Amino acid sequence: MKPLTLMILPLFLLLAACRTPAGTATPTAPTPPTRPAAPAIATTAPAPPQDVSIPAGDGLAIQGTFYPGPGSGPWPAILLLHMLGSQRQAWDDTGLPPALNQAGYAVLAIDLRGHGQTGGSIDWPQVDDDLPRVWAYLTGRDDVDPARTAIIGASIGANLALRAAANLPQVRGVVLLSPGLDYRGVTTTDALDRYGPRPLLIVASEEDSTAASASRLLTDLTPGEARLIMYDGAGHGTDMFTARPELSAEITGWLNRLLAATE
């Protein structure tokens, strides 16, 4: 055999071995499943906050601030309920409304009756009547998506949030910051059955012993999914945002998973 032939033959055999046999498909990586998209992070600045006034059943006007989401909506929306003796501006101090806006949410913070610009007298049974009216205003806006809504409450606002959501089946989830079992007659365990299997995010601090024990019990009693975050030395209600700045991101991430847009 000539030398040139001896050189070509091994090369031919190597090329033949590398060829894919006829009828054999080249394997490809599997396509990952499509997941619902979370509210988009804002690429444009939201419009300035707007003062709103919502009529209560007894003629009192519930005063609030509406923080539009980015673009034109409709946005998923969050209602904020403050602590006893506080007012809606306390949420601005937490940094939560702009964090939610940046994540694509509209936000409504109100002054509960007997507080802030709403005025009047504290009347917790009447607040149970106020909150469905507030919710109807929020979800009735053309720029809000009524199918993607949640409530966040702090201290007695947490108790009120759970009670309101228990009677509003369209509310997708609730965030309870330092809830109690019976605070000024505003109870929570009796609302759990009506709230049903919808998700809860519960946050408290260990040294805030009353709220910590209530948070553990509510987590154990809920018939659905409940995520419990327990801090050390974080304080009570909206004060926890100062001690634990990551709390805004924890809440926003939980809401993103809960209120993901449906395709």
Tokens 């006893």: give the residue. 84
Domains in the chain: how many in total?
1
In a domain? residue 40: no
In a domain? residue 126: yes
In a domain? residue 23: no
Give 46-89 pLDDT, tens digit per residue. 789 999 999 999 999 999 999 999 988 899 999 999 999 999 99
In a domain? residue 72: yes
Count of alpha carbons within 13 angstroms of residue 132, beta-carbon side: 11
Strands (DSSP E) along 35-125, which ranges? 50-55, 61-67, 75-81, 106-110
Containing structural domain, residue 166? 47-258
What lies within 8 Å, CB to CB, of 118 at 6+ separation is: 60, 61, 62, 63, 110, 111, 112
Which CATH number does the domain housing residue 225 bear? 3.40.50.1820
In a domain? residue 42: no
157-182 per-residue burial string, b: 16 or more CB within 10 A, e: under 16: bbbbbbbbbbebeebbbbbbbbbbbe
Q: Which two tokens stand for residue 68?
A: 């539009």
| Alpha carbon separation from 143 to 73, 111, 115, 173 (Å, rounded) | 5, 22, 28, 20
**What angle, rounded to 10 degrees, do the helices at 156-166 and 124-139 form?**
60
Sequential pLDDT tens for the chain (263 residues): 444 444 444 444 444 444 444 333 334 444 444 434 445 444 567 789 999 999 999 999 999 999 999 988 899 999 999 999 999 999 999 999 999 999 999 999 999 999 999 999 999 999 999 999 999 999 999 999 999 999 999 999 999 999 999 999 999 999 999 999 999 999 999 999 999 999 999 999 999 999 999 999 999 999 999 999 999 999 999 999 999 999 999 999 999 999 975 33
Give 14-51 pLDDT, tens digit per residue. 444 444 443 333 344 444 444 344 454 445 677 899 99
Q: pTM for the full model?
A: 0.83
In a domain? residue 143: yes
